[in-house]
Structure formats: C-alpha cells, structure tokens
Structure 1
Amino acid sequence: MSKSSEPPAPSEPSRSSAEDGATGREAEVLAARRASLDRLGRDRAFAINLRSVLDVDEPTSTRAIREAHPDLAPDTTTAERFVVAGRVVLKRDLGKLKFLTIRDRDGDLQLVFAEASLPEDRFAELDEVDLGDIIGADGYVATTRTGELSIFVERWAMLTKALRPLPGKWHGLQDPDLQQRRRYLHLISDDTPRRYVLARAAALRTMRRVLDARGFVEFEGPILQAVAGGANARPFTTHHRALDIDLKLRISLELYLKRMLVGGLERVYELGRNFRNEGIDREHNPEFSMLEAYQAYGDYYTMMELSETLVVECCHAVNVVMGRDPDDLIIPSRGRELDLSPPFERVTILGSVSEATGEDLSLDRPDLPAIAERHGVEVDDEWGPGKVVQELFEKLVEPTIWRPTFVCDFPREVSPLARPHRGDPALTEHFDLVAGAVELVTAFSELTDPIEQRAKFELQQQMKEVFGDEVHPMDEEFLRALEHGMPPAGGMGMGVDRLLLVLTDAASLRDLIMFPSQRPEGG
C-alpha cells in the first residue's frame, strides 16, 4: 500500500493531540487517525463529490434498497447494482472478508468486501477505514448466509476521513450537557434527536398545509424592532451601527401581522423565531418558535376551531415520525396517556380557579388577595384582581389540566391586546389552550379600538415600576395603524416547541431545540 507524506497546507496546519488537550487513550486515537490521514493523502481523504470517485451524482438510500428487497432469501445474489454512501458505524474483519455497516439518513446497511472482488491495494486500504469515516461503495445487492441484506462491494472510496472518533457504541453520548453542546454527535449515536428533527419538520409542513388550504398567506415580519411588543416579556437588545439606533429582538410576531390586516391581507400567518431574555426550564427557552395566525372577521371561537384542527393534524403527522399509528389521538405523555380527540373541553378561568380554591371567586371580591396567599401565591400590593386570578390559575389549575382544554375569558388587566368580552366588560375574549399541563396556544378576539388600545398601553406603562421590562411597551406606530382601521379579527399564537414537547413526549424543550443556548464550555 502506498503511503503519502503530503504535508498539511500551510493555511490549515495540522494540530497535534497535545494541542487538542487530549491525553492518554484519546491522544493515541487522535494521533492514529492523523497518521491514517497522512497515509491516504488529503486529496483522497476528502472527496469533492460522489461523481468524482464513483461516477454517480447521488447515492441510493438504504431505505430504497430495503424496500425493493423485503423478502430476499438467505445466500442470494442479485444482478442489481447500486452506489451507496454513509457513515461507518460498525466494522468486522474476518481476514479475506471485511464487513462495514454504514448509516445514512434512512438507516443502516451492511457492506461486504471480499478480497477476491477487489484489487489488492484497495482491499488492503480498508484497514485505513475507521468508525465515523464516510465512505461510498458500488456493488450488487445480495444476502449473506444469515440472511442479512447487504451490498457486495466491487468499488469503494473514502469520501470524508473522520479525525475524531464517535461516541462509544454501547454508551453513546450520555451527558445531557454534551448532548446539547455536541448535538451532531448525539444525532449520529442516538435515533431520538433525529426523530425530533423530523417531527418538527412534519409539524411545520402540516401547519402550513392547514393554513394555506384555508386561504392564509405566509408573511415574514422584522426580527429587529424599535419597539418589541405583542407580549409582556424582557427583550434582548442590540445596536444598529449603520442607523446608530438601539433595536430589540422581537418577543412576539403579533403587531406586524396586525399591520398586515390593516393593509388588507385578511388571513395572514407567520412561523418564526421569538427571543425573550428570560429564564430556562422544561417549557421555556430564550429562543423559541411560534406560529401566529390572524383572520379578519373571525373571533376567538374561530381560533378555537383552528387551534383544535392544528393540534389534531400535527398529532397525525408526528405519529408517523414517532412510529405510532398515524390515526391514534391517544399518545404517551410523561408516563401517562393523553387523549387529543376533539372536541376539546372549555372552561372559564374564574370557574376553574373557583373550583380549585373551593371559593366562588369574582373580580370584585375584596378578599381575593387573602385567598391567593392562603393557597401559596405571594401577592404584590400593586397587583389588581385580574393579576391575582391569573397567578392562582398558573399555580393551582394549569399544572392539573391534562386533557386539551380551552381556558377562556381572562380578566382585562392581563390581556392588553384582547377585545372586551361581549357579555362581561371586566373580562376579555381571550383563551389559553392547555394540554398535558402545558400551555400550547393563546388566542383573542382582537382589540381593534385604537382609543381603548392606547388606554391599555398607558395602563401597562403605569405598571412598569412594579414589573420592569415585563410590561407591554407603548407602540405609537402600531396605534397609528389601528387608527386607519383594522377589521374585526381573531388571532392565535401557538408555541411550536411546546406543541412538539407534548406530541413527542420529550423531556424538555432543550431536547427539541437542537442547539439551545448554553454557557461556553468550562465557563
């Protein structure tokens, strides 16, 4: 076997294992892989594409080969020839026979290399193949004596030499911090995060399909905003050098979508990222995905029907990825079963809190703060009764709601963008959809009265001393748009990550977000 002494290019110096901080066995492995690279030569270790080495533009997928040969008997050879490619995840050496298992996006497939079928130097060069390398192979479909569907290889090529090893075969990548920090390794060694990626893609396709079929138009609003509105949350800030102004990363999609309603786009939605400079837990991450949709001439009842349809349709789509019956709406969740069958239940927030406290609660009860404190809610002196009711709901009721439930008619105090309730002006036409004890959707009959909207914004500013940045800002440009007239409308916001949390039975949003925010390693 020829050996190459080609030195690394000056612009890309080869680092020693010591420079990588590796010691002991790890340093030996890294050094061995560098030596293998030197023997192969860089030009052969990193192919420009598949055609340059195996004369095809794309490999055949392992799934296509398996689906085309579902019942091939043991020890059978076919005349069908394919080129395949993937990452080497298993090696066996039986002398004159070598077995490599490769993995592509669809699964694993065994490659069989016989000394008699390959040139001597190409068979010997298989010794340079390590676990983690990406190779291509050209050969015939056959089965081994044990019935394993395989490609019996007549040509092969190194496509990418891996200079670092994969996680251990049996233990994989067990440290949750490393799983998130080095998600690429987690994806290689564990099928679960791969399923989460596919589940997200399936859910997003489904959301777009449902909305597009109803005549909604997808829109992309600005991420950098002078006024970050649409929610009560603390924003991230940055500075725009060219304009010499401070800007904020958006915390919501809402206010620009409403501008589109003013402009005549009567059904509009956005799927995008929001950013909130807040804490991290199972259901919260500073960077997260939202769907928001607005429908002119609808209301919060319209949004209930839309939300219900989206949840059910996304469940069907995610079931396929997770290996469940596509039609099954009873899914596993946190060790229990969760039934997503429509119609979803409907309760009022005051009714649910009254049931939880054993009190007949109303917003005009003077002892509301005392009742809240008896149930473990620390009440701020500046809170109004609506805020007290909301805090009671979040502490006592929301964690207990399992079956999908529309919690309706929130107090005006905590719903600055919602229309007053048509039957009780102290409340708003605002619902939250909760399932599996997770809030999935918030929706309103939208407030279109610019005078009342201004008054609500002004009230929020009065609360700024108490709640700091977590109040809705005054947005004069949005108010100006409302003054031109926005049609009556229903609007909803669905947390994409939270919906996937429920539909996939993941442990945390940080398992679903492939590269969540983290401190620097060692920091």
Structure 2
Amino acid sequence: PEFTMLEAYQAYGDYESMMELVEGMITHVSQKVLGTLVIEHKDREGEVTRTIDLTTPWRRVPYRELICEKAGADWFEISAQERKAKAIELGAEIHETDEDFEVSNAIFEKFIEPKLIQPTFVTHLPKELVPLAKLSPNDDSTVEVFECCINGQEIAPAYTEQNDPVQQRERLEDQAGEEQQKLDEDFLIALEHGMPPAGGMGMGIDRLCMMLLGQESIRDVLLFPQMKPKTKNTPSSEGAEESKQE
C-alpha cells in the first residue's frame, strides 16, 4: 500500500518552531473539519471508548524521563548488560546483537508509546536514533528532536537539522560502519557548500486521519489501499469469459 506523508522545512527554524507548526496545523485541521478539539472514538455500538483532547499547549516530556518512569529511576545509571537483562525481564523483545540505545528504544516502543493517547511531544531522543539531527547543546548524547505522539502512535517526528558538515560526516560514518552502507557523498558535499540553520518535520497523514476519524485500522483511511485481485470464480470474470467464447 501507498502511505501519504507531508514534509516541511523551515530555514532558521529548529525543533521548537516545528513543535509550534505541528501543534498549530493539527488543531487547525481538527477545528476546521470537525468543529472541535475534543475527539471521541466510538465502538460499533456507539459507545465512547476513547477521548482525545487537542487543546493546547500539548505536553512536552524528555524521552529519558519516560523511560525511567517505566524501567526505573536508575535505568541510565546501571550497566548496559543490566539494562538488557532488565528489559528482557520487563517483557521487551531484545536481541543479542542489539545496541544499548536499541534496548532503551524497545522499552519505549512496547510500553510507553502505545499509552501516549493525549498529544505529547517526546523530546531529546538518543543521537543514534536520528543521525541527521543537531546535538543537544547541554547533552551531546541526545539530539534536538521530538516525536509527536497521539492516540498511541507517532504522528510527526521533527528535529533541528544538523548543518555542520564535519559533525554530520562523523555521525554518518559511524552509522555506515555499523550498517555497512555507503556514505551519501552528494549530500555531504552540498552541506559543505553551506546550509542555514533549519528545522524539518514529517507528518503521517494516514495516522492523523485515523486519530481524527476514530478509525482503528490504517486500511480504512489509505488513499490508495492494496486491492485484492479478482479470482477466476467471480461473476465478472465468468461473464467476461463467456463473452470471449461468443
């Protein structure tokens, strides 16, 4: 199936200006189309099963804070091996080859993100997760990133673009070495010629529609859903075959 994305970049913007953009866009669409900022999801009997309040300002919370709420306040103080063992104990799907940041992210994806029903900006993710984002000024282990989560799903990730060509090359080299990929030299050369500070955002339109319309399946909102092929036993195919014989 084909999914619909909206991408936006703002020269001299950053992840905070992207928060304002995402918050403003979604609330504007909800108010304009539905006439309300309070979204009710209902079951087949018409009973309200979930209420989402898009009234601003939306919650903003650091990624690490959410991890510690679930996995323990000392999560980032214990050893990597202890984190892996604890994640398995909690029930996360962990593989032997997983890097340390992947262990923490497995906790986030399984236990935290699905419970973020009300609009939430999860900020300052580990730098390994978003190699194209600018490092946080007060913590070079995280980046100026947010994930906008609503209805238990990521709706729109965004970040301050990394426009330092030296730092960008170093981080892409680290990633390429781990994943055995070639560097995008064209991108790096373009960056060396100069790029202004900028913020970038990508919004999943299908997930946004699911949230606004109260749909549980993404198949119900896709513009171009995958269609099942007609079988030879369908009436239309039988009629076509008879016409050919005539």
TM range (shorter): 0.7 to 0.9
Task: Give the alignment partner of residue 176 of structure 2, picking from 453, 461, 481.
Answer: 461
Q: CA deviation at 1:515?
A: 3.2
Q: How many residues align structurally?
A: 225
Structure 2 residue 120 is matched with structure 1 residue 412: no
Deviations 1:391-426 (CA, angstroms, capped at 9, x unpaired)? 210011000111100001100111111111111000
- Distance change in 2, residues 1:522/1:475 (3 Å): farther
Offset of 1:318 from its aligned partner? 2.5
* Runs (4+) off by over 3 Å: none
**Contact 1:377 1:395 (8 Å CA) reproduced:** yes
User: By how many angstroms is 1:503 displaced?
Assistant: 0.6
**Equivalent residues of 1:401, 1:437 under 8 A apart:** yes
> Which of 46, 52, 63 is 1:349 aligned to?
63
Q: How does 1:295-374 map to 2 (within 5 A)?
A: 295-319=10-34, 326=35, 328-333=36-41, 335-362=49-76, 365-366=79-80, 367-374=82-89
Contact 1:338/1:436, CA 8 A, preserved across alignment = yes
Matches within 5 A, 1:244-255: none
* Cα separation, partners in 2 of 1:310 and 1:364, compared to 1, 3 Å: farther
Distance (whole Å) between structure 1 residues aligned to residue 56 and residue 70 of structure 2: 25
For each residue in 1:173-215, what CA deviation from the matched residue of structure 2 results, as whole angstroms up to 9, or x when unmatched? xxxxxxxxxxxxxxxxxxxxxxxxxxxxxxxxxxxxxxxxxxx
- 8 Å CA contact 1:353–1:396 kept in 2: the answer is no
Cα deviations by residue, 1:1-37 (Å, 9 ceiling, x for unpaired): xxxxxxxxxxxxxxxxxxxxxxxxxxxxxxxxxxxxx
Change (3 A) 1:505 1:354: same
Q: After superposition, what is the alpha-carbon deviation per residue over 1:51-70, rounded to whole angstroms, capped at 9, x for unaligned?
A: xxxxxxxxxxxxxxxxxxxx
Aligned in 2, Cα 1:473/1:333: closer, same or farther, shift over 3 Å? farther
Q: Contact 1:460/1:473 (CA < 8 Å) preserved in 2?
A: no
Residue 403 (structure 1) aligns with: 118
Question: Counterpart amino acid of 2:229?
Answer: P
CA 1:509–1:420 in 2, change beyond 3 Å: closer, same or farther? same
TM-score of the aligned structures, taking structure 1 as reference length: 0.41
Q: Please tell me whether the aligned partners of residues 318 and 504 of structure 1 are also in contact (alpha carbons under 8 angstroms).
A: no
TM-score calculated relative to the size of structure 2: 0.85
The question of 1:452 aligning with 2:167 is answered yes
Q: Which has the larger radius of gyration?
A: 1
Asked if residue 496 in structure 1 is aligned to residue 211 in structure 2, the reply is no
> Which residue of structure 1 lines up, in the alignment, with residue 91 of structure 2?
376
Q: Give the match's secondary structure for 2:157.
A: strand
Measure the CA separation in 1 of the matches of 2:182 and 2:218.
Answer: 28
- Paired with 1:383 and 1:437, the residues of 2 have a C-alpha distance of 24
Structure 2: 5+ residue stretches without partners: 43-48, 233-246
- The question of whether the paired residues in 2 share the 8 Å contact of 1:345 and 1:405 is answered with yes
Distance in 2 (CA, whole Å) between partners of 1:363 and 1:475 is 36
The CA RMSD over aligned residues, in Å, is 1.9
Deviation per residue, 1:231-289 (Å, 9 max, x gap) = xxxxxxxxxxxxxxxxxxxxxxxxxxxxxxxxxxxxxxxxxxxxxxxxxxxxxxx4211
Identity of aligned residues (%): 40
Correspondence for 2:214: 505
Within a 5 Å distance, the mapping from 1:57-136 to structure 2 comes to none
Give matches, 1:205-216, under 5 Å: none
SS in 2 for 1:406: strand
Equivalent position amino acid for 1:435 in 2: I
Change (3 A) 1:452 1:482: same
Alignment-derived partner of residue 487 in structure 1: 196
Amino acid at match of 1:316: Q
Cα distance in 2, alignment partners of residues 297 and 362 from structure 1: 33
* Contact 1:344 1:406 (8 Å CA) reproduced: yes
User: Aligned residue for 2:224?
Assistant: 515
1:364 positional shift: 6.8
SS in 1 for 2:52: strand
User: Can you list the C-alpha shifts for 1:421-467, whole angstroms capped at 9, x where unaligned?
Assistant: 111000111110001111111000111111222222222222326xx
- Give the AA of the match of 2:212: L
Structure with the higher helix share, 1 or 2: 2
Distance of 1:318 and 1:372 partners within structure 2: 42
